[in-house]
Amino acid sequence: MFKQIRKKDFKIAISAFSLLLFLFIACTNHQIGKENAPIYRNGMVVTANPLASKVGLEILKKGGNAVDAAVAVQFALAVVYPNAGNIGGGGFMVYRSSTGESNTLDFREKAPEAASKNMYLDSAGNPIANLSTEGHLAVGVPGSVAGMWQAHQKYGKLDWKDLIQPAIKLAKSGFKITQIQAEELNSEDSIFRVLNSGYGYLVNEKQWKKDDLLIQNDLVETLKLIQEQGRDGFYKGKTADLIADEMMRNKGLITKRDLVNYQAVWRKPLIGNYKGYKIIAMPPPSSGGVALLQLLGTLENYPLAKYPFHGDSSTQIFVEAERRAYADRATYLGDPDFYQAPIKNLLSKSYLKNRMNNFSFDKATPSSEILAGDFKGKESEQTTHFSITDKDGNAVAITTTLNGSFGAKVFVKGAGFLLNNEMDDFSVKPGTPNMYGLVGGEANAIQPNKRMLSSMTPTIVEKDGKLFMVVGSPGGSTIITTVLQTITNVIDYQMSIQKAVNVKRVHHQWLPDLIYIEKDALDSLTSQKLTHKGYKILERGNIGRCDAILLNKWGYYEGGADPRGDDSKMGY
Ligand code: DON
């Protein structure tokens, strides 16, 4: 009996101990995961795809700098993330060296030489459905390869060939597609077939399934040409011939001359300040930098942190600032080589202050109703942003795009890559919204060789003369407000970079006059208060997909990879 009791007690004691041990381990792990986000001393890569992040990390570990890693990532994304990563699109790079020198590179697409102002209008002057968004006429002259080549020429350390090799390897041996990728490819299947008469790239006789291996043999050959010949491997010779043939067969406009003439452009960064932080931003032809600095310049006049996060007052300040900045965007911004924007005026402190004179916390300021437009695009993120830092403290922010999902859905026959539909970012007719609901006028009208206005906002933030944050996002018109919120979440609301990226987002863009919110971004009382003041609120899918890096005060990199996608952060 005594023995039996002891045995039973012993068993109970063991079970209790095991339970306590389990709870202790669970709690400790939880705390490690939550409180101690991974930090890295030597370098960090945050991209939309783990395979691409790995490529970037390996280049850093081999002794490459942030620009080397960025070049390798751009080409890797063209393989593993074909709906946004690209060689047939364009983008922007913001760079800051370890010594504080900053620079920006504009590798945005251009209108072909044969483009004209009314090319998407019918004889009655109305936009022809889908002409600027699908098919060969929607394509701008691609800039990505020229951009990567120029970035590498100026700042690269490793051999160009070694930076293209990981992408070639991924295209040759293939990679397993995700469930989301399978669904996206299947949903585009019929349009791919219609626009690409019999060329089977990305088309599967059966349906695509998760874990199918995507091997891209034609792309391997194109990448090898780029590997051997640099930019000439794309803008001259076989690849250029294939692009020009593709256009000629299908009434597209891009010629070999357009291709050989394409140049990426180094532009002086747009510099601003926000509450003691220095903001290094992309100038036009991106609207991102101007709008971001306008927004920060306006918000600076309000003690944001005093208003509860996503309460009615803080939401009003953001929304009213955004309404005004997007109205300016529509009127004043376009390609600086064609149209001089009054940037100094737009960013002047007194202008921004006066702009809010008619704002009252009591009610919404209505947007003009004349030009109201609607989103017709899907709510998926078809641009991609990546942030990279290296062991010396150099930093790169790149946002790159085909514009819509799989761009114009046009493949270059024999070359194995997609072409962009960036022409839709022009204002095809004054007041007619583009696929992101954005309107424009003369500043962003189509002209031969002109760059279309963008919202891409790759940005680097400095504090006390040192690197502080590298940030950017896809999301069409919502890119600017996504970057804005990530910055203010950290600076004003003291969030960690991962939390700043995770939290729900809110967006307003002047027209349509709606506050877009992610599910549960605002609680119901806040929504009721705002509605009472005259705001219209519309819940939508994800807003942005932000990938960011922060250099913390102890000199370690922390990453924020957006949980809205497959985004991944890696460092060492
Ligand atoms: O340059 C721009 O502003 C657009 N082409 C970006 C498109 C985009 O972010 C698509 N992702 N949702």
Residues 232 and 273 in one domain: no
Which residues are identified as catalytic? Answer: 383
Residues 144 and 76 in one domain: yes
Round to whole Å and give the CA distance between 264 and 51: 27
Q: Is residue 376 part of a domain?
A: yes
Q: Which CATH number covers residue 351? A: 3.60.20.40
Query: Closest Cα partner for 335 from 291, 283, 383?
Result: 283
Alpha helices, DSSP H, located in 125-277? 144-155, 160-173, 179-195, 217-229, 232-235, 237-249, 256-261
Residues 408 and 461 in one domain: no
Stated as kind and residue range, the H or E segment containing 427 is: none
Task: Give pLDDT, residue 253.
Answer: 98
Residues 261 and 336 in one domain: no
Say if residue 303 is preceded by a cis peptide, omega within 30 of 0.
Answer: no
Q: Which residues of the chain have pLDDT under 70?
A: 1-36, 368-381
Residues 333 and 427 in one domain: no
Q: Is residue 15 part of a domain?
A: no
Compute the distance from residue 79 Cα to the ligand 1 centre, in Å.
19
Mean pLDDT of the chain: 92
Residue 308 amino acid letter? P
Task: Give pLDDT, residue 200.
Answer: 86
Output the residue whose Cα is nearest ligand 1's atom 6.
476
Q: Which atom of ligand 1 lies nearest, measured to the CA of 479?
A: 9
Task: Give pLDDT, residue 377.
Answer: 39
Best mutation site among 383, 428, 457, 567 for ligand 1 pocket (most ligand atoms within 8 Å of CB): 383
Q: Is residue 23 part of a domain?
A: no
- Which of residues 444, 470, 490 is at a domain's end? 444
Compute the distance from residue 250 Cα to the ligand 1 centre, in Å.
25
Task: Give pLDDT, residue 15.
Answer: 54
Residues 374 and 502 in one domain: yes
Task: Give pLDDT, residue 382.
Answer: 82
217-229 and 66-80 helices cross at what angle (nearest 10)? 160
Q: Is residue 100 part of a domain?
A: yes
Split into its structural domains, the chain has a count of 2
Q: Is residue 7 part of a domain?
A: no
Inter-residue contact 459 to 486 (CB < 8 Å)? no
Task: Give pLDDT, residue 239.
Answer: 98
- Which of residues 444, 476, 491 is at a domain's end? 444
Compute the distance from residue 455 Cα to the ligand 1 centre, in Å.
7
Residues 460 and 511 in one domain: yes
Q: Is residue 137 part of a domain?
A: yes
Task: Give pLDDT, residue 37.
Answer: 83
Residues 376 and 510 in one domain: yes
pLDDT digits (tens, 9 = 90+) for 20-51: 444 443 333 333 334 468 999 999 999 999 99
Residues 251 and 344 in one domain: no
Q: Is residue 182 part of a domain?
A: yes
Residues 257 and 280 in one domain: no
pLDDT digits (tens, 9 = 90+) for 193-232: 999 988 989 999 999 999 999 999 999 999 999 999 999 9
Q: Is residue 201 part of a domain?
A: yes
Which residues form the domain of 284? 268-380+456-571
Q: Which atom of ligand 1 lies nearest, measured to the CA of 403?
A: 5
Task: Give pLDDT, residue 1.
Answer: 38
Residues 289 and 394 in one domain: no
Cα separation values, 78 from 44, 140, 413, 418, 420, Å: 20, 17, 16, 9, 12
Residues 99 and 220 in one domain: yes
Task: Give pLDDT, residue 67.
Answer: 99
Say if residue 166 is preceded by a cis peptide, omega within 30 of 0.
Answer: no
Task: Give pLDDT, residue 111.
Answer: 98
